[in-house]
């Protein structure tokens, strides 16, 4: 039984076009050169791995934060909350002091 054209396409690589500004393209080129691979191989390696991590995180309902994001989150948790005037009035009302 002969294969259909659509079945054949699903077995081969599919091109992906991405528009980048010059600075972003240079960053990808530099990173690829550091690994001694082509820009296409670099983009494929890095983006597919990252996409898989993000899908797994979403499936597990976890949030992945970079070290900088973790620190910013920790600082936000440590900061004293600043109540709005409406929240202060509600608190007073709930305490029965108003």
- Distance, CA of 12 to CA of 14 (rounded, Å): 6
Average pLDDT, the chain: 88
Angle 80-82-84 from CA coordinates, rounded to 5°? 160
Q: Could you report the per-residue pLDDT of 41-50, keeping only the tens digit for each?
A: 999 999 999 9
Domain containing 30 equals: 18-64
Residue 97, pLDDT above cutoff 90: no
Q: Based on the domain organization, do 46 and 35 belong to the same domain?
A: yes
Q: Based on the domain organization, do 97 and 72 belong to the same domain?
A: yes
Q: Based on the domain organization, do 35 and 57 belong to the same domain?
A: yes
Q: What is the pLDDT of residue 80?
A: 86
Residue 9, pLDDT above cutoff 90: no
Q: Based on the domain organization, do 59 and 71 belong to the same domain?
A: no
Contact 20, 28 (CB under 8 A): yes
10: pLDDT confidence band, cut at 50, 70 and 90?
Answer: low
């Amino acid at each position: 039984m002969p294969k259909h054209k659509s079945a054949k396409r699903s077995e081969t690589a599919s091109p992906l076009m991405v528009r980048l500004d010059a600075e972003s393209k240079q960053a990808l080129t530099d990173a690829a050169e550091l690994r001694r691979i082509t820009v296409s191989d670099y983009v494929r390696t890095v983006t597919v791995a990252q996409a898989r991590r993000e899908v797994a995180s979403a499936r597990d309902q976890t949030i992945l934060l970079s070290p900088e994001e973790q620190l910013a989150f920790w600082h936000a948790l440590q900061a004293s909350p600043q109540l709005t005037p409406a929240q202060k009035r509600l608190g007073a009302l709930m305490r029965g002091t108003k």
